[in-house]
Structure 1
Amino acid sequence: MQDQIVSCYGQENDPFHFERMRRFQPFERKNHYHRNFEINYLYQGRRSYFIGDRSFTVEAGDLVFIHEYEVHKASILDSPRHERLVLNFNKLFLEPLDAPMLHELLEPFRLPHRVLRLKVADQLFVQGLFQKMEQEAEKREFGYELYFKQLLTELLLFAKRQMQRQQTAEHEHVSPMHQKISAIVQEINRSYTEPCSLEDWAVRFHTSPYHLSRSFRSVTGFSLVEYVNMTRIKAACRLLKQTDDKIIDIAQQVGYDNLAHFGRQFKKWAKVTPGIYRKMETAD
């Protein structure tokens, strides 16, 4: 059978977007991270998720929370067949909310346990919110975008309260390989400014470069070198927004001795030059 789009609104990088999909064929997204917050809801099936530096088993009825700019990848468990809804939004979409309230509502995206395991009654409540979104997307009647904001706020408030009641699924490693890659990712996040080759990482974690390379890409969707460069560029983006440091100094701070190489990597991951990025992010 062919994969089926059940419902869809907008595009992935829009301020608000969702897509409900039934998949029957193997599907795994590669090299995936974006500037929007993401919520996944699994209607049917089981999936393996790698989010940030942790792995989770996600089952039907689970809500998954992925922070903006956070690396994530979903993989097959048991069977490729599953049905899920993915919802993306950015902070600007919820701009009428004051900053303290928005900070509280986004707490589920900051917690170590990103999978909210719901009881049947709560599953029906969440599915009802998504059903209303789907109906609004289809009809496009007056005020539908305002209603999207109301429904999203209600969903975030529900998740925040559920997290406070400690209804999250326990963090678990899907396999020993996921556990090892998680440890490597955590170490990269701590020491990305230091020069370290694939061979160095293989020695540090008692494996061969070939096996490490294959395993790392299988779990994260990135090669190890890509992941290190991406981590460095994300750090450079923060410094460009938050400091007045010179670009050459920022390049050195995140681990690049060669300014031209830094510029190439920055444009690869951020799609613009460091100078243009700073102007875009700091403009009034």
Structure 2
Amino acid sequence: MLENGLLYEQGYSVNINTPGDPLFYYFDYDERSHNINMEFQHDHDFYEIHILMDSRATHVIDGKIHALRQYDIVLLRPYLLHMTQYPEGPPHKRLIINFAMPASTPGLENAYKSMLLPFAEEIPIYRLTGEPRSAVFDPLNTIFTQSHNSSALNPVLVHTLFQQFLCALSQQQDKNSYVLEEAGSANAQKIYSITAYIHSNYSSELSLDSISREFFISPYYLSHQFRIVTGSTLTEYIQTTRVRKAQHLLVHTRHKISGIAEQCGFTSFSQFNRIFNKLSGMSPSAFRKQQALPGSTPALLSY
């Protein structure tokens, strides 16, 4: 372990409960490389923390590109669009923490709200050095050590230590030295602002022409640059966004499937079925039934 750094073991994980539970934790110690960069910004209904453990990477947050250095801490609140991009070269180590906590604990509502305030900052990235970094990382290292030393890790211990981590982080706000750096080309920044627009307006009518007018660029330029930056066509991206939103509603609500189709921007139920089958490999009703089976949980999107 480097001084003031994090303990690490490739492929190691710590799990407490599962997504959808009022309290759950998933610590994922692994590495990612450029050739498996995500091509699609995503969001989810739990909190996520990304800690880079190698030299550099970039993180797209709600369509804006942020440069990262070693031990930068990215704080992602639920439903915030994001995507990590790793540079070419050897794989990069990182720690991903997915977690959820009960919405309120009697007598501690204000304390919990204060503890989670860093996630609501305009630029939710922390860069700490020296003692402040040690104070923040020590509880995480204790979780790592205790999980290796115990055959049955106590969830109360993990929860307590993680709250110490969050409290330490909020106490170091004035020590945060992260500054927004130029990252990515102007074209990439423009395209990611468009993907953020798509995620915010997926239920509305979206087309190449309407988006071109919204962003004052030509349809040809948008079509060409969108594919270069994202790896998919504009139409494919819109369809994928809508299907992912529909998947979420199928799993987490009891809304009628026809209503979900309309809510997600599909112009007809037949169009919804056709595109959903194409991208999901099954019908919307089959997808809902599969996710309802005992032991079925939504996949964690850890990158």
TM-score, normalised to structure 1, is 0.73
Q: Could you tell me whether the CA contact under 8 Å between 2:251 and 2:288 is conserved in 1?
A: no
Q: 1:231 to 1:171 in 2, by over 3 A?
A: farther
Q: Is the counterpart of residue 180 in structure 1 residue 194 in structure 2? A: no
TM alignment of 1:1-284, pairs within 5 A: 5=10, 7-10=12-15, 14=19, 15-22=24-31, 26-31=35-40, 32-77=42-87, 79-92=89-102, 100-140=110-150, 144-163=154-173, 165=174, 167=176, 169-175=178-184, 176-198=186-208, 201=211, 204-206=216-218, 207-217=221-231, 224-232=234-242, 248-249=258-259, 251-263=261-273, 273=285
Q: Which runs of 5+ in 1 are unaligned?
A: none
Q: 1:68 to 1:264 in 2, by over 3 A?
A: farther
Q: Deviation above 6 Å: which 4+ runs of structure 1?
A: 234-246
Q: Could you tell me whether the CA contact under 8 Å between 1:12 and 1:88 is conserved in 2?
A: no
Q: Could you tell me whether the CA contact under 8 Å between 2:45 and 2:78 is conserved in 1?
A: yes
Q: Could you tell me whether the CA contact under 8 Å between 2:128 and 2:175 is conserved in 1?
A: no
Q: How far apart in 2 are the matches of 1:25 and 1:77?
A: 5
Q: 1:262 to 1:143 in 2, by over 3 A?
A: same
Name the SS for the 2:179 alignment partner: coil
Letter in 2 for 1:216: T
In structure 1, the partner of 2:4 is none
* 1:154 CA drift (Å): 1.4
* 1:246 CA drift (Å): 6.2
* 1:155 CA drift (Å): 1.6
Q: How far apart in 1 are the matches of 2:163 and 2:155?
A: 12
Letter in 2 for 1:158: A
Q: Could you tell me whether the CA contact under 8 Å between 1:5 and 1:20 is conserved in 2?
A: yes
What is the count of residue pairs matched by the alignment? Answer: 270
* 1:209 CA drift (Å): 1.6
Q: 1:224 to 1:121 in 2, by over 3 A?
A: farther
Percent identity over the alignment is: 20
TM-score, normalised to structure 2, is 0.69
Q: 1:249 to 1:12 in 2, by over 3 A?
A: same
* 1:259 CA drift (Å): 2.0
Name the SS for the 1:41 alignment partner: strand
Q: 1:191 to 1:7 in 2, by over 3 A?
A: closer
Letter in 1 for 2:270: A
Q: 1:100 to 1:256 in 2, by over 3 A?
A: farther
